[in-house]
């Protein structure tokens, strides 16, 4: 059912910040996030008759925004191929080598993070996860966001970014190694008081 | 069967989140995790990361924490919406 609150003059007040946060955490760019929020509202205006009211207005708007973000990533991925990306290529390139000795053992001990349930209940964990996500190299971040925060499957990501599955897995592996290391340094280190 | 190194095992831990591992991979990994404390901790951490990200992905719809859309951007967007809405009537 369409309530008065759902009418376009209330959209920005009701949903603006929620959409902005959704976009910002994925795009990591304030301007782009604002831009896509605006585009989402404009697209929603045109498609308004198609909002059946089966789901909430918020869910419907986020669905539109999600598509805008996917388009943005596809677009960027094509651009990056053209100007052949980040010279020096910081995709955490050296990270796998650094993490292991020549014989394949870990080069440093993996520390115990304790009870994971407790971790997720602490506000601090989320702040540091955000900090670490913000520090992912750009190409890795895009791929990682597609996979983990937009929940795309490998097949779709391969199509979106025009890379092979093996490539996707390698990059996700690096992103995870990097995030783990960052969390370990900033969160667990902190918790231990070191 | 050749024993997996920690490097191999950690990669399989990550790939297990992306695809179904083959029979040999699965057993090789299981055996390695059984004897290797570092990799066992690594696996728990990678699983925690996935769980945290799933939570994060679903949070936007209800969460009120985090940065708001700036007043300037709100104004700008409100105007753009009003203008477009006016045209369509």
Coil, strand or helix at A123: helix
Task: Dump pLDDT digits (tens) for A164-182.
Answer: 999 999 999 999 999 999 9
Q: What pLDDT was estimated at residue A190? A: 62
- A51 vs A159, which has greater pLDDT? A159
Mean per-residue pLDDT pooled into runs of 10, chain B (89 residues): 90 96 96 97 95 86 78 94 78
In terms of domains, do A99 and A64 share one? no
- Whether the CB-CB separation of B11 and B17 falls below 8 Å is answered with no
Task: Report the gap between the CA of A107 and the closest CA in chain B (Å).
Answer: 10
How large is the ipTM? 0.89
In terms of average pLDDT, the best of A142-146, A190-194, B60-64 is: A142-146
In terms of domains, do A73 and A153 share one? no
Q: What is the mean pLDDT of residues A100-123?
A: 88
From A57, A82, A107, give the residue that closes a domain.
A82
Residues of A with CB below 8 A from B78's CB? 9, 12
Q: Would you state the torsion angle of the CA atoms of residues A41, A44, A45, A46, taken in this order, to the nearest 10 degrees?
A: 130
Whole-number percent of chain A with pLDDT over 70: 90
If pLDDT is split at 50, 70 and 90, which confidence band does A194 have?
Answer: very low
From A82, A115, A131, give the residue that closes a domain.
A82
Residues of A with CB below 8 A from B77's CB? 12, 16, 34, 37-38, 41
Instruction: Give domain status of residue A88, yes or no.
Output: no
Phi, psi at residue A100, to the nearest 5°?
-130, 150
């Amino acid at each position: 059912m369409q309530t008065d609150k759902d009418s376009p003059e209330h959209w920005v007040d009701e949903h603006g910040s929620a959409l902005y946060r959704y976009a910002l955490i994925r795009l990591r760019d304030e301007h782009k996030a604002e831009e896509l929020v605006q585009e989402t509202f404009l697209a929603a205006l045109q498609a308004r008759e198609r909002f059946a009211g089966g789901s909430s207005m918020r869910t419907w708007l986020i669905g539109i925004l999600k598509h805008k973000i996917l388009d943005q990533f596809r677009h960027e991925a094509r651009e990056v191929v053209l100007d052949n990306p980040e010279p020096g290529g910081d995709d955490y390139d050296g990270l796998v080598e650094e993490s292991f000795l020549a014989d394949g053992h870990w080069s440093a001990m993996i520390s115990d993070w304790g009870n994971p349930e407790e971790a997720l209940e602490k506000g601090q964990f989320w702040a540091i996860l955000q900090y670490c996500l913000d520090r992912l190299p750009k190409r890795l971040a895009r791929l990682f966001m597609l996979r983990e925060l937009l929940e795309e499957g490998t097949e779709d990501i391969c199509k979106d970014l025009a890379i092979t599955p093996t490539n996707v897995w390698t990059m996700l592996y690096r992103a995870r190694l990097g995030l783990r290391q960052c969390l370990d340094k900033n969160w667990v280190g902190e918790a231990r008081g070191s | 069967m050749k024993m997996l190194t920690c490097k191999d095992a950690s990669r399989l831990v990550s790939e297990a989140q992306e695809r179904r591992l083959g029979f040999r991979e699965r057993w090789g990994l299981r055996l390695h995790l059984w004897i290797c404390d570092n990799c066992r901790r690594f696996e728990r951490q990678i699983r925690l990361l996935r769980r945290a990200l799933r939570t994060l992905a679903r949070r936007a719809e209800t969460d009120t924490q985090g940065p708001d859309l700036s007043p300037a951007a709100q104004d700008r967007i409100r105007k753009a919406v009003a203008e477009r809405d006016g045209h369509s009537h």
